[in-house]
Amino acid sequence: MDSTALFARTAPRRLFFTAAIPGAISMLASSLYQTLDGVFVGQFLGATAFAAINLAMPFVIINFSLADLIGVGSAVPIAVSLGRGEREEANNLFTCACLMIVAVGVLLGGVIFAAAPALIQFMGAEGTFAALAVQYLRVYALCSPFTTMIFALDNFLRICGYIRGSMGLNILMSVLCCGLELLFLGVFHWGIWASALASSGGMFVCVLVALSPFFRGKALLHFCKPRFQLRRIRQIVACGSPNFLNNIAGRIASILFNFLLVRMGGETAVSVYGILMFVDGFIQPLLYGMCDSLQPAVGYNWGAQKLSRVRAIEKYCFTASAAVSILSAAVTALFPEQITCLFVSNAGGEILQMAVFALRLFSLTYVTRWFSFATQSYMLAVEKPLPASLISVSTALVFPVLFVLLFWPLGLTGIWMNFAATSVLAAVLSAVVLRRERADLHRPDAPDVPRG
């Protein structure tokens, strides 16, 4: 189906199942690989290697964050431009965004490669623990010019109506990455660097596959001679800032937590925190997949001033996010032992006791997490990046740091309680944001008028 017809005329319920369900499956496939990455490293390379990848992971995500900023930030104005019938402008935004991502991959990858030993040493890691983390981080940094594009192409494919193609791409990436990692670690018995190489190899193949319809001229968006404009670059940065700030702020919080955990509980505490993050890495992409997959439709209808459709689409987004989030909370609370044993072979004693306690506290996060997540996505889709950024940064950094201070006397228990407390406060903030923006978001549809 043509994306214009899909976004403009498909009934909201059918649109939800057409776009959001494949989007959730797509992100589930991606998150499943990330989860299996932790499983493979923990099972084949041991607890120290598992702790090392969790220590390095915040810097890996920072490496990808600018590409994500450009991808998400350009997707919103591209969808809005298409809704206004401005196809040449949409093509220019698409082309400029792709070039910017490659340039950022070269620059930031080089910086992180050079700084990797200092960054890991700053975290307090020493000896084998530190050496493994540096190996893992440097492989991702070297490959970033060839891999970071994947985080934007997913958005561009959905804008062009390739919703199932986007889902297939993420499934292919997960299969490739898992297959390569199983081969490298389980058959060749290579080290931790091979885990990062397997991920990067799978991403690179999928970048080539995803670019194919654009190079062949089969997609709605086309490459053109780029016209970089400061106004458009600012718009991309503004629209991508909520996701970018969420990534950066979240990684700063993770670095802070790891810094404290190394000193409070050593490798064991870092491993338990890693388990929590892998669980979050499985649940959050489901929420992201549903909300993000609907953003092109919401942006298109916002640009076309069909606000009743915007509201109808978002009702499904909020409802589905709540269902997934609360179900995830229940599963995490009921099966903490099984979750722990997935990531740490022969888990027992101190680590099992600590992880079970931490997971049960952590599960409370998802009772309310869905509301702030869906609200942030809604604000971004309707070109309101400032409130979206406020929710994003507060959830990822401001509230966690606040609760680190408040819960400091509780030690490690305070760290595990931090996530649920942050989620409650983020839901309150999101309710305030929705109330403040209510008049603009609920005004009547504008009459259809010709656009020059």
Render pLDDT for 4-44 as a digit per residue (tens, 0 to 9). Answer: 677 777 888 888 888 777 777 777 777 777 777 888 998 89
In sequence order, which ranges of 84-188 are alpha helices (DSSP H)?
A: 87-122, 127-147, 150-159, 163-181
Question: What is the rounded average pLDDT of the residues 120-133?
Answer: 90
Question: What is the rounded average pLDDT of the residues 79-92?
Answer: 88
Provide the pLDDT confidence category of residue 328 given band limits of 50, 70 and 90: very high
Indicate whether 129 pLDDT > 60: yes
What distance in Å separates the CA atoms of residue 47 and residue 43, rounded to the nearest whole number?
8
Contacts of 361 (CB under 8 A, 6+ apart): 413, 416, 417, 419, 420
pLDDT reported for residue 451: 37
Q: Which residue has the higher pLDDT, 163 or 159?
A: 159
Write out the two tokens for 284: 């959050």
Question: What is the rounded average pLDDT of the residues 190-195?
Answer: 95
Indicate whether 305 pLDDT > 50: yes
pLDDT reported for residue 431: 94
Q: Which residue has the higher pLDDT, 223 or 85?
A: 223
What are the domain boundaries of the chain?
A: 9-441
Question: What is the rounded average pLDDT of the residues 389-394?
Answer: 88
For residue 23, give the H/E element and its range: helix 21-40
The answer to whether 371 and 430 have CB atoms below 8 angstroms apart is yes
Pick from 159-163, 207-211, 371-375: least confident: 159-163
Question: What is the rounded average pLDDT of the residues 204-223?
Answer: 92
Name the pTM for this structure: 0.69
Report the candidate in 147, 138, 149 with the shortest Cα–Cα distance to residue 110. Answer: 138
Q: How far apart are the first and last CA of the chain?
A: 27
Angle at 29 between CA 93 and CA 46, to 5 degrees: 115
pLDDT reported for residue 452: 32
- The single residue listed with the structure tokens 């950022």 is 104
Indicate whether 2 pLDDT > 60: no
Length of the chain measured in residues: 452
Provide the pLDDT confidence category of residue 450 given band limits of 50, 70 and 90: very low
Report the candidate in 130, 155, 133, 128 with the shortest Cα–Cα distance to residue 60. Answer: 133
pLDDT reported for residue 63: 84
Report the phi/psi class of residue 211: left, alpha or beta, with left for phi > 0 and alpha for psi in -120 to 50.
alpha
pLDDT reported for residue 73: 87
Write out the two tokens for 416: 């595990």
